[in-house]
Amino acid sequence: MTYLHSTSAPLAEKINLKDGISYGALAFSLAFLALPLYMVLPNYYSKNLQLSLSVVGVILLLTRLVDALWDPILGLLIDRWYLQSKTALMRKVIVAACLMSLSFAVLLQPQKLMQYFNIGSLEFWIILALLVCYACFSFITITHQAWAVLLGNGHIQQSQVTSYREAIALLGVLVASVLSNLYGLWLNWWVFTFSLAIGVAAWYFLFLRQQCFISTTQSPQVVIAWNGRDVFQQLSQPFKDGVFKQLLLVYAVNGVASAIAATLFLFFVQDKLQLSTVQASILLLLYFISAATSMPVWLNCIKHWGLKKSWLLAMLIAVVSFIGSYFLSSGDMLAFALVCVFTGFALGADLTAPMAMLNTHIQNSANGLDMKAQYLSWWNFVTKLNLALAAGLALPLLAVLSYVPVPAGTTASHSEQALVALSIAYAVVPCLLKIIAMVLLIKNKSLQSIS
């Protein structure tokens, strides 16, 4: 199997509004799964199913590590499938979407399956559902992202393509956060399943209209041989690219900071600030609304200052905001609302600039388009590794430091030591990591060519 980007049609110079919405619609539905997977379920399992933080942390660490490890293999397969039938690839997407909806339902009621089948433990069903859900989510996400690489030319267009997807995804997160907090996760599942069907259909018709990603010619430059040694060499090919490695390192360090804050957000709001579920929903809304509305501002910044400087500014804003959150105490909702607004504003650049830099680099590389899904699969690998580390290290560490979440429906209180530990984990650690990421980004001069 050989890889060559198409010469059958020119790359789009600019994605229009209609195509941008058709492409981004799938991201809206995926947000209804991403929010529970990465933010709500740790809190849900510890407070509603009374699983210990250590158990939840280990489950999430192991399943997210497995999820991250199979992404590069998925990238190889997706690059291969992109050269084959469009219809066959979309059939795989449809099957994955159905399995993803089913496994999400299992995640919400794992105890029901344990009782019905009378086999396994609660942890077994959670792990099984997580692995299926992660695999389907990864396949659809990488396929979706890889196609976007071929829609834009240069960092301005790639910023536009990325911003369409991420802005619509943030809209999905906004709706999902309201539904999950006010009406429960089951309504979230129903909306997810319905919007997923619409999103896949919208992308499918756009998929059929665009002919820029399939080639019937063969390239002598990039060859896929499916024996063990050659597959390993193909998997490691992106790491022979120095610019990619440097960009990935910055993204990883910055990503760990964001993942820790996301994992601990609800714990911080409910236990440190002593705010209600409704107030937590309002704060999440402010955070994501700020991120969504910041997209046009960041696109303008990127146009005038470039990707690198815009990303650095966003990191600086986040650092200052997190420092402020460390000094908050019980009832400080207004002050934390400002933190949410500014960190949400910074998130807009975090979602746009790094991916636009990666997509631009893929387009500029000699064989980048031939290996687009491989580059993106390693990118997603790091994203998931960040989330795994955030859950697998931060949650057990908090347990060691005497922090135990307050069970739902109770009024138990924490010691001062436990709350200080929570504040350090939520505010100080992300600050330090983002400062390291800023230093790395400033020192990596080779990234200037894609910024």
Predicted pLDDT of residue 103: 92
Please enumerate in sequence order all residues whose Cβ is within 8 A of that of 252, keeping only pairs 6 or more positions apart, or say none.
382, 385, 386
Is domain 17-210+240-450 in CATH 2.60.120.10, yes or no?
Answer: no
Helix (H) and strand (E) counts in the chain: 17, 0
Which residues, in sequence order, are bridge partners of residue 2?
223
Please enumerate in sequence order all residues whose Cβ is within 8 A of that of 323, keeping only pairs 6 or more positions apart, or say none.
427, 431
Q: Give yes or no for a contact between 3 and 219, defined as CB atoms under 8 angstroms apart.
A: yes
Phi, psi of 2 (to 5 degrees): -115, 160
Please enumerate in sequence order all residues whose Cβ is within 8 A of that of 409, keeping only pairs 6 or more positions apart, or say none.
none
Q: What are the boundaries of each domain within the chain?
A: 17-210+240-450
Whole-angstrom distance, CA of residue 130 vs CA of residue 272: 29
Q: Give yes or no for a contact between 375 and 68, defined as CB atoms under 8 angstroms apart.
A: no
Phi, psi of 8 (to 5 degrees): -75, -20
Return the SS3 of 2.
Answer: strand
The pTM score is: 0.73
Residue 366 C-beta-side C-alpha neighbours within 13 Å: 8
Predicted pLDDT of residue 216: 36
Torsion over CA of 300, 303, 305 and 308, rounded to 10 degrees?
A: 100
Predicted pLDDT of residue 419: 86
pLDDT in tens, the chain (451 residues): 333 333 334 444 456 777 778 888 999 999 888 877 777 777 778 777 778 878 888 888 888 888 888 888 888 888 888 777 767 888 899 999 999 999 999 888 887 777 777 776 888 888 999 999 999 999 999 988 887 776 655 666 677 777 888 888 888 888 887 777 777 778 888 999 999 999 999 888 877 776 544 433 334 344 444 455 566 677 778 888 888 899 999 999 999 999 888 888 988 998 889 888 788 888 988 998 899 899 889 988 988 898 899 999 999 999 999 999 999 988 899 999 999 999 999 999 998 899 888 888 887 775 555 677 788 888 888 887 887 778 777 777 787 777 777 665 555 566 788 888 888 889 998 999 999 999 999 988 777 666 6
Which residues, in sequence order, are bridge partners of residue 223?
2
- DSSP labels for 173-226? HHHHHHHHHHT-HHHHHHHHHHHHHHHHHHHHHHHHH--TT---S--SS-B---
